Amino acid sequence: MAVSRERSGPPPVSPEVHPDRTVTFRIYAPDSDHISVWGEWGGPDSPMEPDYAGVWSAMVGPLDPGLYGYHLNVDGLAMLDPGNSWVKPARAPNTSILDVPGAQPLIHGFQDVPHGDLRIIGYHSRSLRRSRRMRVYTPPGYEGGSDRYPVLCLLHGRGDNDATWSELGRAHLIADNLIASGDAVPLVIVMTDGHAYIEEEWDGNARRLNIEALRRDLLEDVLPLVDSRYRTLTDQPNRAIAGLSMGGGQAVTIGLNHLDLFSHVAGFSSYMGPPREAVAPALDSPDDVNRALTLLWLAIGEEDFLLDDAKEFHAALEAAGIEHQYQLTSGDHSWPVWRQYLAELLPVLFKEDS
């Protein structure tokens, strides 16, 4: 595969969003044989065609307004769009970000409302014996105020890192907009790196070790550091944990095993594995769970490849008599779905009627 020969000037404009919300993607790759573009808008890859100068292009859409991850498949290799500097944070970055604006404000968009702050925090994890990083969102009005705030620990998926929930998930902007409308209470959101076990491979034992390492880091390092630096409410009714995919399994597992620390637990498109392995104590003590939790919230798309796992876990909770909310929605395993789940979750956190 050869993406380009010598070419003077900048790369071709890509992506180009047109007024009708169709989008043109381009790449200069005169020696390539086959190129296509894949995106979170759904459907199969769209083939790209070359012109006489070796610039390949394809038009997709019109697309609904929103943010989409996408990549180019160049002779079998998934890669970033060379014309687009906006990259999804990931363990192995190969996904570019497309923003299709709309006429109406989007829940994840930058609106004319008061905005909180997003900070990058480096710290040394004593439990893991290495340096790590997290993002911390504080709500509008935090600076100069004296109020204390509830805390949501928000975890990412397997391919992501601590930056993905803010950069592509837009968690901070979703919170800003919902707080401004009065639909969500002001809160602190902690987004840490879910890859705590550095030898991790995707098998059952590594998954268990990763959850245990993250649990130690979260409880022994992350939350104590956040509580020492920020005005947080530290009691169980004011703690929540949520996540997507891998992070959803982590959030539900850690939450159900620490009922003394978290009152709200949520999983988006979560991978749980055999239910009794990770949360057997909770399944064996449903009355304790129902007394401790204000909310156990689960959601997954009907086209998600983890749907069978989600149904099995939902059935296990029902059989045990554990109260929970389970939503089957449209959509697949992608960020447009998870942003919407966060927008639905925030309004029911830390409220008596949740």
Which CATH number do you get for residue 248?
3.40.50.1820
* Per-residue confidence (pLDDT) for residue 48, from 0 to 100: 96
Query: Number of structural domains, the chain?
Result: 2
Task: Enter the DSSP assignment of 238.
Answer: G
Helix 275-284 and helix 204-217, axial crossing angle in degrees, nearest 10: 50
Same domain, 77 and 200: no
Same domain, 275 and 302: yes
What lies within 8 Å, CB to CB, of 46 at 6+ separation is: 36, 37, 38, 58, 59, 60
Same domain, 141 and 45: no
Runs of H (alpha helix) within 204-285: 204-217, 223-229, 246-256, 275-284
pTM of the shown model: 0.90
Same domain, 57 and 165: no
Same domain, 84 and 138: no
Tell me if residue 224 falls in helix, strand or coil.
helix
Same domain, 170 and 65: no
Same domain, 172 and 229: yes
* Per-residue confidence (pLDDT) for residue 104, from 0 to 100: 85
| Assigned domain for 244 exists | yes
Question: Identity (one letter) of the amino acid at 238?
Answer: N
* Per-residue confidence (pLDDT) for residue 273, from 0 to 100: 84
Structure tokens at 288: 């304790």
Burial category of 291 from C-beta neighbours within 10 Å (exposed 0-12, middle 13-18, buried 19 and up):
exposed
Please give the Cα distance from 118 to 137 (Å, whole number).
Answer: 5
Same domain, 317 and 284: yes
Radius of gyration of the chain (CA): 21
* Per-residue confidence (pLDDT) for residue 3, from 0 to 100: 53
* Per-residue confidence (pLDDT) for residue 201, from 0 to 100: 64
Domain end (from 67, 100, 133)? 100
* Per-residue confidence (pLDDT) for residue 233, from 0 to 100: 97
* Per-residue confidence (pLDDT) for residue 196, from 0 to 100: 87
* C-beta pairs of 42-49 under 8 Å, 24+ apart in sequence: 42/332, 45/73, 48/72
* Per-residue confidence (pLDDT) for residue 90, from 0 to 100: 86
| Assigned domain for 76 exists | yes
| Residue 42: domain span | 16-100
Residue count of the chain, please give it.
Answer: 354
* Per-residue confidence (pLDDT) for residue 103, from 0 to 100: 83
Q: Are 135 and 118 in contact (CB under 8 A)?
A: yes
| Assigned domain for 110 exists | no
Same domain, 34 and 159: no
| Assigned domain for 137 exists | yes
* Per-residue confidence (pLDDT) for residue 1, from 0 to 100: 52
Determine the straight-line distance between the first and last CA of the chain, rounded to whole angstroms. 54
Domain end (from 47, 65, 100)? 100
| Assigned domain for 31 exists | yes
| Assigned domain for 112 exists | no
H or E segment and range at residue 317: helix 307-320
Structure tokens at 130: 């290495």
Structure tokens at 226: 């956040």
* Per-residue confidence (pLDDT) for residue 297, from 0 to 100: 98
Same domain, 209 and 159: yes
Burial category of 308 from C-beta neighbours within 10 Å (exposed 0-12, middle 13-18, buried 19 and up):
exposed
Please give the Cα distance from 15 to 4 (Å, whole number).
Answer: 18
Helix 246-256 and helix 275-284, axial crossing angle in degrees, nearest 10: 30
pLDDT 10s digits, 121-179: 999 999 999 999 999 999 999 998 899 999 999 999 988 999 999 999 999 999 999 99
Please identify every stretch of the chain with a pLDDT value under 70, giving residue numbers as ranges.
1-9, 200-204, 352-354
- The single residue listed with the structure tokens 């070790």 is 209
| Assigned domain for 162 exists | yes
Which CATH number do you get for residue 82?
2.60.40.10
Same domain, 65 and 172: no
Same domain, 275 and 336: yes
Q: What is the DSSP string of 130-166?
A: EEEEEEEEE-TT-TT----B-EEEEE--TT--TTHHH
